[in-house]
Chain A
C-alpha cells in the first residue's frame, strides 16, 4: 500500500480564496482524521470520520472549514474563504478499528503546507 496520500503538498493562495485539500486513506482503514499543525498550537484534531460518517467535528475552527468523505477512499477539507491565520500544515491520517473498539496507530500522510497571503 502507498500509505495515506495527500494533495497538494504545497498550496499558496490569496486571502479570500477557496482552498480544497484532498486525502486518500489507506485501503481498509475505517477511521480518517484531519489535523492541523502550527508552531503555536501544535497538532490539533479538526474532525474525524468513521466509515465515512463524521463523528466529531468539534475541532473545526469555524464555519469557513468543512470536510466531506463521500466514499471510503477519499476525503476533502475545504476552507472558504481562506485567511492568513489558516496558514499551517494540514495532515490527514487513517487508522483501523480493532476488536473491542481500540484503534491501531494512526498513519499520516505527508501533509499539505498551506500558506495564505
Chain B
C-alpha cells in the first residue's frame, strides 16, 4: 500500500462545477499536510496547507480527518484556470522532514 493515495482521476468538469478530491495516508503519526498544484510541464507549487480545523481560501476548502487519516480538497465554482494536477502531500513525524507526495489527480475544467 502506498503511503499517500489519491483519487486516480482524471476529473473533467464544466466551469462553475464543484469538485472534491480525497487523499488517504498510512502513517498515523504524520504531522503536516498540504495540497500542491502542478501545471503541465511546471514544478509543483503549494496551493494550501491543511489544518485540523479545516481551512478555506477563496473557492478552495481543505479538510483533515486524523481519525480516518484522510485529507480532502473542495473547489467551488471551478474556473478554466483551475485545470491542473493536484497533489496531496504528507510530512513525516519527528524531525524527519520527509514529504511524501501522492500521485496526483488531474482536473480539467471545460467551458
Interface residues of A (CB under 8 A from B): 31, 33, 35, 42-43, 45, 48, 50, 55-56, 91, 93, 95, 97, 100-103, 105-111
Contact = CB atoms under 8 A, between A and B. Distances in A.
Given A42-B101, A97-B95, A103 B32 contact: yes
Contact of A50 (B36, B95, B102, B104): B95
B82 interface: no
B97 A42 contact: no
Interface residues of B, number: 25
B45 A108 contact: yes
22 contacts: A31-B97, A42-B104, A43-B44, A43-B101, A43-B104, A45-B99, A48-B97, A93-B99, A97-B97, A101-B31, A101-B93, A101-B94, A101-B97, A103-B32, A103-B97, A103-B99, A105-B46, A106-B89, A108-B44, A108-B45, A110-B42, A111-B43
A105 B91 CA distance: 9
Interface of B: 31-32, 34, 36, 42-46, 49, 87, 89, 91, 93-104
A55 B92 CA distance: 13
Chain A interface SS verdict (over half)? strand
Given A43-B87, A103-B32, A50 B97 contact: yes
Given A43-B44, A43-B103, A43-B104, 5 more contacts: A42-B101, A45-B101, A48-B98, A101-B31, A105-B36
| Most chain B Cβ neighbours within 10 Å, of A48, A91, A97, A108 | A108
B95 A108 contact: no
Contacts of A100: 31
B43 A109 contact: yes
Given A43-B87, A108-B45, A55 B103 contact: no
A11 to B, nearest CB: 15
Contacts of A31: 97
Contacts of A35: 101
Nearest to B47: A105
A42 B36 CA distance: 14
A102 B44 contact: no
B39 to A, nearest CB: 12
